[in-house]
Amino acid sequence: MNEQEAIELIRQSLDDKRYEHSLRVAETAKKLAITHQAPLERVVLASLLHDYAKCQSPTKLQAKLQQYELTQSLGEYHHELWHGPVAAKELSVTNLVDDTEIIRAIYYHTTGHPNMGLLELIVFVADYIEPARTMPGVEEVRALANENIYEAARIAIKNTIMYLMTQDAVIHPDSWAAYNEWTKKY
């Protein structure tokens, strides 16, 4: 799939708000890819597609968790965590995307993962800092993103975990593992 095809695909599968968000993530990720000398086209493709399944209902996503045998790892967690893994599976089983790193970037874009490579880190951070994001701490991550992508990702997941804890939300083990790994690096 090329960039134009990805844009057409998300135009069909997402509402306006989510479509615009995806374009902003791709634009943000593109700049980071240039700064960090990451493969530009692949970074843009992963960013465009990261929320591909975001507009599907929790009921539909739940059925797909079953279909792709993801219920055990994700079924007990908040339905917000389902759209990345479902999008990754859907895009790979249909052979729309055959690039494993792109698939991983999509799969783990919400929770993070301890073994993320540069492409995945860029998508993860770009999703957090795209220009419409206003959560507390986002400016710090924006500034760090150009200097040290690991540290930017670390602060992003730290802020997310801290926010979720104020809500008494359950934290997915991948989020903890990512935080621990990036903190050891730091």
Task: Decide if residue 27 touches ligand DGI (CB under 6 A).
Answer: no
Cβ-based neighbours of 112, under 8 Å, separated by 6 or more: 124, 153, 156, 157, 174, 175, 178, 179
Could you tell which of ligand DGI, Fe ion, none binds residue 47, using a CB distance below 5 to 8 A set by kind?
A: none
Q: Which does 62 bind (CB under 5 to 8 A by kind): ligand DGI, Fe ion, none?
A: none
Non-local CB neighbours of 40 within 8 Å, separated by 6+ positions: 30, 33, 34
Residue with smaller CB distance to ligand DGI, 13 or 111: 111
Whole-number Å distance between alpha carbons of 9 and 163: 32
Among 90, 120, 127, 174, binds Fe ion (CB under 5 A): 127
Give yes or no for residue 51 binding Fe ion (CB under 5 A). yes
Please pick, from the candidates 54, 64, 104, 113, the single residue that binds ligand DGI as defined by CB under 6 A.
Answer: 54
Q: Rounded to an integer, what distance in angstroms lies between the CA atom of residue 181 and that of residue 174?
A: 10
Give the whole-angstrom CA distance, residue 74 versus residue 160: 18
Task: Rank residues 54 and 89 by Cβ distance to ligand DGI and give the closer one.
Answer: 54
Residues 152-181 that bind ligand DGI (CB under 6 A): 160, 164, 169-172, 175
Could you list the residues that contact ligand DGI (CB under 6 A)?
A: 51, 54, 78, 80-81, 109-111, 127, 160, 164, 169-172, 175
